[in-house]
Amino acid sequence: MWKFNPILKTKIWGGSRIGRLHGIDHDGPLGESWLLSGVPGSISTVASGPDSGLPLSLLIDRHKDALLGRLNYIRYGHEFPLLIKLIDAAGALSVQVHPDDDLAREIGSPHGKTEMWYVLDADAGAALSLGFNRDIDPAEFNSLCGSGEIEKCLNNHCVHTGDVFFIPPGTVHAIGAGCFIAEVQQSSDDTFRIYDYGRLGDDGQPRPLHTDLAARALRFNATDGRPLPYTANPDVPVNLVRSPFFTTNVMTLDEPTLRDYSECDSFVCLLATRGNALIEAKDQQPMTLYEGEIILIPASTDNVRITPGKTFTALEIYIKQ
């Protein structure tokens, strides 16, 4: 098992939650903390133990399918297939869309970007946008982008802690001010910005838009942007999302729990969203997982014992072929 150093990303819309959570001082507004990443140029490094400082890519080179799982290793080779991050939106993110695998490969990227959001916290009245609130066509889309009226065509949802949203490629979306979110996604950093409220970048110029690529990526009839329904069940994993790219469960634990991963054939990530817990597995160094941290459990691990400090909530993330 391994814990990783967060990769911090300054964003003009970022805030102070990430710095407080990680207990660090940072110049500039922190918009994202990449907790686990194999994206070139932003590859996670091990935080402690005998592998301290090793990049995730080297761990995969060393352990191969014992880390990723047999089918994942066949599918992804030496690449880590997910990017898991925290997003602190003190200001609104741009209206944007992500490509699917086909379009991503066409523009020279290895993967599209399917993602999900789990709301960690939200200011009173905080909202996000997901999907159009009516069908539009490409011609109208160009007009709406030019006038800035695109915002009026989005599904807006007030959000609360624990809300879950699934964002397939091609779905227009925007995270509003006051949202603090955990995001699980394919290993991709491709974003097509549609509208950005006229904000200026570090160079003093309006941040670039990608409306032509966005028009190619968009599903113009994507109108269902409601949060996913689920019922929390203490001490029992509850499925939130099941897709070809990742499966995510939420666990709220008050008692020690044994998780059997022997049939999973996948690495497992545990992202602590509240509280702390002791994580133990045979022949591995026990680790305490704190809120805002992630542990990567190799696919060769059969059983993991999770002992919560008090009430402990975590996302359990893996790829089920």
What domains, with CATH codes, occur in the chain?
Answer: 2-217 (2.60.120.10), 238-318 (2.60.120.10)
* 259 among known catalytic residues: no
Rounded mean pLDDT of the chain?
Answer: 94
Do residues 297 and 281 touch, judged by C-beta distance below 8 A?
yes
Asked whether the CA dihedral 184, 132, 172, 152 is positive or negative, the reply is negative
User: 157 to each of 17, 27, 126, 145, 224, how far by Cα in Å?
Assistant: 22, 32, 8, 21, 11
Do residues 314 and 277 touch, judged by C-beta distance below 8 A?
yes
Q: Which has more confidence, 27 or 185?
A: 185
> How far is it, in rounded angstroms, from Cα 26 to Cα 15?
11
Catalytic residue from among 62, 70, 105, 193: 193
Q: What is the pLDDT of residue 197?
A: 86
* Residue 20 neighbours by CB distance under 10 Å: 12
Q: In what order do the strands lie in the sheet with 192-195?
A: 154-158, 127-132, 173-175, 95-97, 192-195
CA-closest candidate to residue 171, choices 187, 192, 152 = 192
Do residues 299 and 66 touch, judged by C-beta distance below 8 A?
yes
> How far is it, in rounded angstroms, from Cα 112 to Cα 121?
27
Do residues 222 and 171 touch, judged by C-beta distance below 8 A?
yes
pLDDT at 19 over 90: yes
pLDDT band at 98, cuts 50/70/90? very high
Q: Which residues contact 299 (CB under 8 A, 6 or more apart)?
A: 65, 66, 67, 68, 69, 70, 72, 261, 264, 265, 266, 267, 268
What are the helix (H) ranges across the chain? 17-22, 56-63, 65-68, 70-76, 101-106, 138-147, 211-217
Can you say how many angstroms the Cα of residue 195 is from the centroid of all Cα atoms in its chain?
Answer: 22
pLDDT band at 184, cuts 50/70/90? very high
46 token code pair: 């091990």
Query: Residue 226: left (phi > 0), alpha (psi -120 to 50), or beta?
Result: beta
Mean pLDDT for 277-304 is: 96
- Tell me: the pLDDT tens digits for 235-273? 899 999 999 999 999 999 999 999 999 999 999 999 999
Mean pLDDT for 184-213 is: 87
- Tell me: the pLDDT tens digits for 152-179? 999 999 999 999 999 999 999 999 999 9
Do residues 233 and 279 touch, judged by C-beta distance below 8 A?
no
